[in-house]
Structure formats: C-alpha cells, structure tokens
Structure 1
Amino acid sequence: MEDVATLGFIATTIGATWRLATPLIFASIGEVFSERAGVLNIGLEGVMLMGAFVGFAAVFATGSLPLGLLSAVLGGMAVGLVFAFFTITVKADQIVVGAAINLLGMGLTAFLFRTYYVGTGRGVEIAQPLDLPGLSDLPFLGEALFRQNAIVYSTLLVVLVAVFVLYKTSFGLTLRAVGEHPKAVDVVGRSVAAYRYGAVLIGTGLAGLGGGFLTLGHSNQFVEGITSGRGFIALAVVVFARWSPIGAFLVSLLFGLFYALQLQLQAQPALAIPYQALQALPYVMTIVALVMVRNKGDTPKTLGVPYNKA
C-alpha cells in the first residue's frame, strides 16, 4: 500500500512539475532572446502580470480561450514596446525602466481588477487536460506526462523554435551578434535598434503568454500578484541556463519541481514542516542557483548597455 502511495506521490509531483514550470519556460526563453541582444529586462514580473490580466479580461468578455491567449501575448508585447522605447530609443537605464515596468504592472492590474472584476465572483473557462489515446491511461507515466493541457505541451514547440531561430537562421545569428559586437552589425548596414526591438517584443510576448497561462491554463481567476515573483525567478533561470533555450527549459523544470514539492509537502501534515518554509523553497533555490553560477564568461558582452552609434 505504501508503494502505491509513493508512486502516486511521484507521478503527481512530476505532472505538477511540468505544469508549474510552464510560465517560467515561456518567460525565460523569451528573456533569452532579449538578453542575447544585449537588453536586460528586469520588468518581466510586470509584463507577466499584464499578460495574466489582459488574457483573463479577454476571455471574461468573449469566452474565447484562443483569443485570451493571443491577448496575453499582445498585452505583454504592448508593455515591451514601452520598455523598448525608453531603453533603446531614449537610451534610459534598463534597470530603472524595468523597475518602473514592474511597478506599473502591479499597480495597473490591481486597479483594473478591483474596478471591474473583483465584485463579479466569476471565473473563466480554462484549457483542459488532453486525453491522449493509449498514453493518458498508461500506469504512472500516463498521469505524470500525458494529462496536461495544450499550453503545457506547447512549451516543447517553443523551445525547439527558439533553438532553430537563434542558431540556425540569419536573424538569430545577427541578434546574437547585436549582443556581442553591435558595432560590427552596424558596419554591415543592419539596424542594431531594430534587432533589439524585435528581441524585446519576442521576449515580452512570451512572458505575456507565461502570465496568461496562470489565469487561463492553471487557475480560472485573476488575483493581485498572481505571478508571485515568477518574473524574477525567470531572470535567474536565464543566468543559470547560460542564455540557452534548452537550458532555460531544463532549469525551469527544476524550479517547477521545487514549486510542485512545496505544494505536495504541504499536503503531508505528518512532516510537521511550517508551510511558510515550504512556500519559500522556490525562492531559496533561486538564491542558491545564482550563487552557484560563478563563471560569467557566457554573458552577452553588451548586456544592459545602451548602444550609441557614434
């Protein structure tokens, strides 16, 4: 009997790991694009909050989940456009602008939610787990891997497309060059600003989708601060993953495991561990991960530095 309970615990934890890692996967892979182009966006938390709220609002108004997910992406990109304008065109400090984006995201989403939705008591329809014939009913692995919704499975496609774009296309090669040697890109007649704008929009679009998943694929309601620091954890994931999309995917799964464990262990009262300690586990591991990363040789050389053509 104990063996069955243990297997059930492991299967549930594995399944929850991928699901809880999904917003981190989207946000961290998006940030890989941005930082590879030399732009550090610490405003991911605000971008994800905006994506979560806009996606929820769109589905609340229309009942269309695809439209809600698209709206989450566009909401993230709209915030990204503001960030890009100030950091790339105006050349304002990226840290300061990112901090402002976080404050804007937290304040604006809280204001709009309290104004229009807090009294409704209504949730929205969310993405449902898929039933994969022959796979969903497999013992152990069926519950762990083959009972996820389509948004979770789409993370595999995102990481594959990101690897292809960054390492197999002219756009990706130039984007990485923008983060390493922007003057060389400028010399051959390509716009450094245009590539940085593109990288930021890709990054914030994916971060918005990550936020949208929280309201449309995980919960059916928006709450203030629903991201709970995931934007900041995504920044740590990028560093720990050495600015690699595949690395970001794998490290996100590791942090997803910490989220899953803290939820599973809270359901084990016999352990007598304070729930506050369990809730802090993902954030403690974020600090540990950053401490472990000592070699910064892979850091894009112009990360966080505005490009001055002159």
Structure 2
Amino acid sequence: MNLLMTFIQKAIGQGVAILFGATGEIVTEKSGNLNLGIPGIMYMGGISGLMGAFFYENGNENPNGFIGLLIALFATLIASALGGLIYSFLTITLRANQNVVGLALTTFGVGFGNFFGGSISKLAGGVGQISVQTTAAAFRAKIPGLSAIPVIGDLLFSYGFLTYLSVILAVCMTYFLKKTRRGLNLRAVGESPATADAAGINVSKYKYIATVTGAAIAGLGGLYFVMEYLGGTWSNNGFGDRGWLAIALVILALWNPDHAIWGSFLFGGLYILYIYLPGLTRATQELCKMLPYVVTIIVLVITSKRNKQENQPPASLGEAYFREDR
C-alpha cells in the first residue's frame, strides 16, 4: 500500500511539468501554430526563474520566500513569453517554417539554460552549488491542515501551489476554448484562418496572443521542475525529454486541456515505472521509458480511424496563413 501511494505521488510530481507544457502547446496549436520550441521554452522559463530567485536571495541578508517566489514567477513568465513572441514574429510576420523555427528555439533554449545554469553555479562557488532554499521552500509549501490528514493528506494536499495551478489552468483553458466567444474565435482561426478572416477576426492577433500565452504557460513547467521538483537547484540537461513528452501529450489528450490532466499523470507514472519494476536491465529500462510514446502512437492510430472531428488536430495546424491567397 505504501509503495503504491509513493508511486502515485511520484507520478503526479513527474506529470506536473508535462501538464504545463501540454496545456501551453494546446492553446498554441488551437491557433494553428505548431510550436516545437516548447522544450526549449521550458528550459528558458526554469533558468530565468532560478536566476531571479538566486540574485534576490544573494542580494539580501534576510530574503523573504514569498518575494523570491514572485520574482521567480515574473522572470519565468517574461522569459518564456519572450520565447513565444520570437517564435510568433518569425512564423507569423516573417512566415518562416514553423518546424524549423520551433526546433531552433528548442536548441537555443536548452543551450540558454545550460549556459546560464553553469554560470550561476560558478558564481555560487562551483558546479552544482546553486541553491535558493528560501524561495524553493515557498514553492514547496504544503496546504496547512489538509496535508496532515492521514493518507488523503499525502496523496492530495502535500504538493506546492504550482501543482494545483497546473490543474486549474488546464480546466480554465478548457472552459475558455469551449465556452467563450474569444475561445471559439481562436478555434476558428486554427480550423480555417481564411474563413475567420472573412468573418472579421484578426487572425494574426489571435495567433500572436495564443502562442505567447501558450509559451508563458509552458515556461511554468520549467519553473515547477527547478523549484518544486528539484528544490531550487539546477542540473544541466536535467529536464530530459519532458518537453517532448508534453508535445506528445497534446495528441494523447486529443487537443483538450482537461484530458491532459489525467494524461500527464499517466505519462508521469509510465516515465518512472521502470524504477518500481524489479529485475530490469539497462536496455529494458530504456524500453519502459518509451511507453508514453507508444501509448501516444496507439491513441493517434485509434482516433485517426474513428475520424471524429472533435478528436482531430486543427485543420490548419502548422500551415502559414497568407491573407493575399484568401
């Protein structure tokens, strides 16, 4: 029983960063943009938040964890939104290839994170010595009272606020996309930008806002990973393939943020399953790590055969819109 509880908690912990990334990418893809730069943006968001907290804590004798939290949040949102803005400018305004720009952004973001992570490590006294414990403690604070409830407390109320924020954002984005006029306009842009343009919807504006907003949400996944999951430390290339898992989760969730909630925890469980299976060799461990992608492929095949419109990607996904071709 204890082992199962531990596994569920660890699966949730693994899944939160993936959920942030998937929610942000779903919002982006609903506009018709395919942002493969999400993994890099998560790196940018994570290191920017850590840098903000690091310089705040090292510039104050008695740093306040709540202030450090706000600074880290602000730095993350600015850096990740900037990444989304760069992607938008290149693909929407300059009409560059979305796949090329996205992959270049991922390469840049990973390098950006590793470079500044190493630089801050040297400032802190050596590689691996980054520590923003005061700010990290604020991020990891549990819900008072409720977290002390036996069994249920550990399972449901023992996480930092970013864990709950990831679920709240996914639910809010679902409501926005399905129940609001602006959400319907955004979906119209993703399905048929020419039709949306003819109806008076500013296609470029919606694409810009959706992509920048999606990038900001994805960046929170990087902040979660360094602050809540790692406890305020940095490890070069420590994100692994979580950014790519977030993109894969978009397909598993069938472009619905609410589906991404359970999907992220499923991915989190599959991602660490090899740790709880005895007798695995190194090769079979790597095969276990492939399970999230295998599940995604299976879901993709099944939904393609059913051919339900609501389970398909936006019709104009990945395609540049040229108004003069309308």
TM over 0.5: yes
Q: Give the distance between the partners of 1:304 and 1:287, measured in 2 at CA.
A: 23
Residue 69 of structure 2 is aligned to residue 61 of structure 1: no
Whether the 8 Å CA contact 1:11–1:141 is kept in 2: the answer is no
Q: Give the partner amino acid of 2:300.
A: V
Structure 1 residues 45 and 60 mapped into 2: Cα distance closer, same or farther (>3 Å)? same
Quote the offset at 1:66 in angstroms: 2.1
Map 1:255-266 → 2, pairs under 5 A: 255-265=267-277
Residue 241 of structure 2 is aligned to residue 237 of structure 1: no
Q: Give unpaired runs (5+ residues) of structure 2.
A: 58-67
Quote the offset at 1:119 in angstroms: 5.5
Q: What TM-score, normalized to structure 1?
A: 0.91
Residue 318 of structure 2 is aligned to residue 304 of structure 1: yes
Paired positions, count: 298
Deviation string for 1:249-298 (max 9, x for gaps)?
11111001123434445xxxxx2323564355343321342243123441
Identity of aligned residues (%): 29
**Counterpart in 1 of 2:22?**
28
Q: Give the distance between the partners of 1:277 and 1:166, measured in 2 at CA.
A: 40
Whether the 8 Å CA contact 1:12–1:143 is kept in 2: the answer is no
Quote the offset at 1:73 in angstroms: 1.8
Q: Give the partner amino acid of 2:38.
A: L
Deviation string for 1:218-269 (max 9, x for gaps)?
112112112211111111100111100111111111001123434445xxxx
User: 1:29 aligns to what SS in structure 2?
Assistant: helix
Deviation string for 1:50-98 (max 9, x for gaps)?
1111011011011302210221122111111111111111111100001
Q: Give the distance between the partners of 2:242 and 2:292, measured in 1 at CA.
A: 13
Residue 193 of structure 2 is aligned to residue 179 of structure 1: no
**Counterpart in 1 of 2:109?**
105
Q: Give the distance between the partners of 1:16 and 1:202, measured in 2 at CA.
A: 28
Q: Of 273, 281, 286, which residue of structure 1 is paired with 2:288?
A: 281
Q: Give the distance between the partners of 1:36 and 1:239, measured in 2 at CA.
A: 12
Whether the 8 Å CA contact 2:130–2:234 is kept in 1: the answer is no
Q: Give the partner amino acid of 2:49.
A: G
Whether the 8 Å CA contact 2:141–2:159 is kept in 1: the answer is yes
**Counterpart in 2 of 1:4?**
none
Structure 1 residues 227 and 274 mapped into 2: Cα distance closer, same or farther (>3 Å)? same
**Counterpart in 1 of 2:37?**
43
Q: Of 177, 180, 183, which residue of structure 2 is paired with 1:169?
A: 180
**Counterpart in 2 of 1:225?**
237
Q: Give the distance between the partners of 1:118 and 1:276, measured in 2 at CA.
A: 35
User: 1:136 aligns to what SS in structure 2?
Assistant: helix
Q: Give the partner amino acid of 1:89.
A: T
Q: Of 94, 97, 100, which residue of structure 2 is paired with 1:93?
A: 97
Q: Give the distance between the partners of 1:279 and 1:65, measured in 2 at CA.
A: 36
User: 1:49 aligns to what SS in structure 2?
Assistant: helix
Quote the offset at 1:207 in angstroms: 0.8
Deviation larger for 207-216 or 157-166: 157-166
Whether the 8 Å CA contact 1:26–1:209 is kept in 2: the answer is yes
Q: Give the distance between the partners of 2:283 and 2:55, measured in 1 at CA.
A: 36
Deviation string for 1:127-178 (max 9, x for gaps)?
2241442x32333222222211111111221122111211111110000000
Deviation string for 1:94-136 (max 9, x for gaps)?
0000110011112222222223324521311212241442x32
Quote the offset at 1:204 in angstroms: 0.4
